[in-house]
Structure 1
Amino acid sequence: MNEPIRRLSMLAALLFTALLVSSTWLQVVGAEAINDRPDNRRTALKNYGQERGQILLGGQPIARSVPSDDELQWQRVYASPETYAHITGYYSFEYGAGGGLEGAANSLLSGTDDTLFYGRVSDILSGKASKGASLELTIDPQAQRAAKEALGDQRGAVVAMDPRTGAILAMYSSPTYSPTPLVSHEQGTAAKAWESLNADSSRPLVNRAIGGNLYPPGSVFKVVTAAAAIESGDYDKSSSIPGPAVLDLPQTDVGLPNSHPGACGPNDRVTLAVAMQDSCNTAFGWLGMELGGDTVGDQASKFGFGDKLEIPMDVTPSTFPTGLNPPQEAQSAIGQYDVRVTPLQVAMMSSAVANDGVVMRPYVVERVQGDDLSVISDTKPEQLSRAIDPETATELTDMMKLVVERGTGTQAAVPGTSVAGKTGTAEHAEGAAPHAWFTGFAPADNPKVAVAVVVEDGGRAGNEAYGGSVAGPISAAVMKAVLE
């Protein structure tokens, strides 16, 4: 064989080898990634060929599939779609599964999860049509509706939890949206809705309760600073600390003022309990510098800051800054500077105080059920961390009760029960109205619900907003719904 023919033969062999390797790679190694692509029409048609699992509240579906008379065979429908949009998410032929449980638990709902393997084999052997698993949620419908109605057209979020278990009882983000147009089988309808939602500057697709652009917590963070102070062993609720009208900050000519005129107590002194009751900035700023940024940051991490959580939707970790100088320590201790949180994290802080100092792992799926209502798995409450000692939790509860009984949070009171709470008014941008916050739990002596509320830019009150007057009544409405 002459040289040119030998070279051509080698080239042909290499090409056949490359073709063999490429096809093997696509069929074996890359098959799963290709099947999982949202734009894979063949996979999408296959998935629509079987009934998708339901998302249930109290046994009643808020998301289910009904027979369709087109090539997709099944149509996804949602009950009270705007109330539960950020919990259910959407299952769209055009845009895939996302926005909530439809995306986060897609393998269960579609029936492809490994835990459902034996059920799939049984269906094949019996000739039975396979169905996806259903999810029974922890959400309390009354609490969810109360959150939606109380927040109204204001931007923000509400989270309610059972502090004893971590079960999420309400999770509402505003503005909301309807997933119904997104799941339409008419391509034009889905595309128009998708473009409109993504072009909306208010970002209705973002679940503000667990993600998006995180919020400065303002004075609700004083719960963490107070916890760090008491845990240090150097302070208790009766400790007298400085509370001047303006706190002198080293390394700067700018002082830290209170949100109200004057000092927080006689002779510029105040007890830690009264500082919490009246939300004294200067007292907590002083504490922040005395304790140091590392101590306050360590305490924040014990409450869950920095943890990457799945409920099963991904939760953006809350953050506390590091490498602080004294003025930054003072600002961070009152929830300003670069402290950033989700409303879920703030609810976890209150839950820990309510639960004798223990942070429970939050979750929204109570159980996974087969199509015959058999229980595939139950979520077991799980301790995430111990944030504080039980004695510290008791002192914080007493201090937070004062906030609602006679301090900045009186409008968060619930008739007939004792509420422990903390207000917050968080500055976040030059010239913008502050965010209004409230967090707390009830009944204070036997907690069954912990709540966090944030209203962006002061809501309807604008620059006149305070956490107690704007967010407090929303919290009260949600607590009342749960307790009744």
Structure 2
Amino acid sequence: MNKELRRISVATLAMFLALFVSISVIQVFAVDELRADGRNVRTLYASYSAERGPILVDGQEIAASVPSDNEFRFLRQYLQPELYSAVTGYFTLNQGSAGIEEAYNDFLSGTANEQFLDQLSALVTGQSPRGAAVELTIDPVVQQAAFDAMAGQSGSVVAIDPSTGEILALVSTPGYDPNRLSAHSTASVIDAYNSLITDPARPLNNRAIAGDLYFPGSVFKVLVAAAAIDSGEFTPESEFPNPPQLQLPLSSNVINNAEGGTCGGTETATLATSLRLSCNIPFAQLALELGQDELADYAEAFGFGQEIEIPMSATPSRYPSNLDDAQLMLTGFGQYDVRVTPLQIAMISAAIANGGDLMQPTLLDRIIAPDLSTVLESEPEVRAEPISASTARTLTRMLVDGVSNGVASNAAIDGIEVAGKTGTAENGPDRPYTLWFTGFAPADDPQVAIAVVVENGGGQGQNAFGNQVAAPIARQVMEAVLNR
């Protein structure tokens, strides 16, 4: 009898220990995952019953919670919704969340581990729980200038302070109204979400950091030139054959320069001239001489192939692998299968502007508790050092020449030296070009690095170039920064 009791006791103890371990794992290690699970209806209702913290730009609310007279108690409201939709994202009853609303949901809802004492205090005192405020790095004047400059165009603008990584403007157009998604009616939210998803203009795509990646075209030449100079194998005076056409190796395909003839009208072209005038053929030959491993290494150093959290996750840009010589040459001027986000292109310019140091880009300034204490504050962080300071100085002078005496002339600002590069990326024989500008200003004391992309040829199909459409947009945004 004692033997059977011992067996039952051991089995009971084992089950108790298993239950104890399981509960401990759930309560300690899995709590954040369970809280974020979209199927957790209890968390959903709790998030609406609490006063969700505001999202702030320059101290002003761009997203706030207002009292509601139903069981949810609060309604999420967005001010200047289309202007900031790529930043705030949305917070919905049954379609999840996006943007800052998603990235900082735990702080905004007051459930972050850093806010445990506030949660405990609310429980003891019986006060309604309140979320923290998230203050962003966005400059409202620069954001508005970028949004206005992109009026009527599909594309994106990303402007960064190169010395800190702070994102001053992040615009994706067309935008959308997240208020349509914050209603307390399930049916109306689903209808609004479906209409946005099926909209051929794709307003929910955050073109700055995600969605369909772009061919960079000639703005990728900035990275190729950086790799060439930083390798020590080339200088701005290095010369390359400059025929009007070049047949790719082991291929019947022929590449041309943008204007269809020799670039600059000479039989050879220096690296500096090739960047200033955006010559495709010299850059194709340069890519072949550098080799795909060298180019891939520099692309990775600038951030290609990596997760970038701003804090929203940016889709990694990519430089292709396993290239034959023809494909490698096409990558030299940003074609074949090179794909990028505007954020990535802005980061390349920011690193050059900052003397070769690439700062971690961020939208976060600080997180502020309801009692106005600082819960979390962003600090500048060097993400990588892709090129040397001397390479950055050399490239800066070359990019200044591109604006003052080259094919990026429409980015020029009176009295200010601007460094920049345009791009006109091909998307197929009958598809409109993608138009680009990237650069920074002032060249001798950079306050802003920028990337502008305009889809669909700016409404002109294959009849427009980056200097016509993207460069003037960039100029307006850079002027907004410099005139602050």
TM interval, short-chain normalised: over 0.9
Residue 49 (structure 1) aligned with residue 56 (structure 2)? no
After superposition, the Cα gap between the structure-2 partners of 1:30 and 1:306, relative to the gap in structure 1 and judged at 3 Å, is: closer
Other-structure match for 1:358: 357
Is the CA contact (8 Å cut-off) linking 2:214 and 2:341 kept in structure 1? Answer: yes
Q: TM-score normalised to the size of structure 2? A: 0.92
Partner Cα separation in structure 2 for residue 146 and residue 200 of structure 1: 26
CA-atom RMSD, angstroms? 2.2
Which residue pairs with 1:119 in the alignment? Answer: 118
Contact 2:368 2:375 in 1 (8 A): yes
Task: State the shift of 1:453 in Å.
Answer: 0.5
> What whole-Å deviation, never above 9, does each CA across 1:204-241 have from its counterpart, x for those lacking one?
11101001110110000000110111112121112222
Kindly provide the CA deviation profile for residues 294-340 of structure 1, in whole angstroms up to 9, marking residues without a partner as x: 11111111111112111110111110011211111110011000100
Change (3 A) 1:475 1:27: closer
**Structure 1 residue 33 displacement after superposition:** 5.0
Q: What corresponds to 1:76 in structure 2?
A: 76
Kindly report which structure 2 residues correspond to 1:24-423, keeping only aligned pairs within 5 A, or say none: 33=33, 35-96=35-96, 98-265=97-264, 267-423=266-422
| 3-state DSSP of counterpart to 1:91 | coil
Partner SS, residue 371 of structure 2:
coil
Distance 2:439 2:32 in 1: 45
Q: How far apart are 1:31 and its partner, in Å?
A: 6.8
The offset of 1:119, in angstroms, is: 2.3
Question: Distance between the aligned counterparts of 1:352 and 1:32, measured in 2?
Answer: 35
Unaligned runs of 5+ residues in structure 2 are 1-10
- Is the 1:240–1:270 contact (alpha carbons within 8 Å) kept by the matching residues of 2? yes
CA distance in 1: counterparts of 2:80 and 2:137, whole angstroms: 17
Equivalent pairs counted in the alignment come to 469
Shift of 1:40: 3.6
State the alpha-carbon separation in 2 of the partners of residues 65 and 190 from structure 1. 17
Give the deviation of 1:415 after TM superposition.
2.4
CA separation of 1:429 and 1:266: change in aligned 2, threshold 3 A: closer
Q: Residue 444 of structure 2 aligns with which residue?
A: 445
Mean Cα displacement is larger for which, 122-131 or 49-58? 122-131
Q: Is the 8 A contact 1:158 1:452 kept in 2?
A: yes
**How many Å separate the matches in 1 of 2:116 and 2:98?**
26
SS of the aligned residue for 1:302 comes to: helix
- Asked whether the 8 Å contact 2:264–2:277 carries over to 1, the reply is no
- CA change 1:392–1:32 in 2 (3 A) is closer
- Distance in 2 of aligned mates of 1:358 and 1:256: 34
Structure 2 counterpart of 1:5 = none
* Preserved contact between residue 136 and residue 365 of structure 1 (Cα < 8 Å): yes
Give the secondary structure class of the aligned counterpart of 2:75: strand
**Partners of 1:86 and 1:99 within 8 A in 2:** no
Contact 1:154 1:459 in 2 (8 A): yes
Whole-angstrom CA distance in 1 between matches of 2:99 and 2:422:
29
Cα 1:391–1:30, aligned 2, differ >3 Å: closer, same or farther?
closer
SS at 1:227 equivalent: helix
1:320-367 deviations in whole A, cap 9, x for unaligned? Answer: 011211111110011000100000000000001100011110000100
SS at match of 1:275: helix
Task: Tell me which amino acid in the other structure corresponds to 1:90.
Answer: Y
Deviation per residue, 1:58-94 (Å, 9 max, x gap): 1111001011111100111111001001110111122
Unmatched tracts of structure 1, length 5 or more: 1-12
Distance 2:405 2:443 in 1: 15
- Describe the SS at the equivalent of 2:365: strand
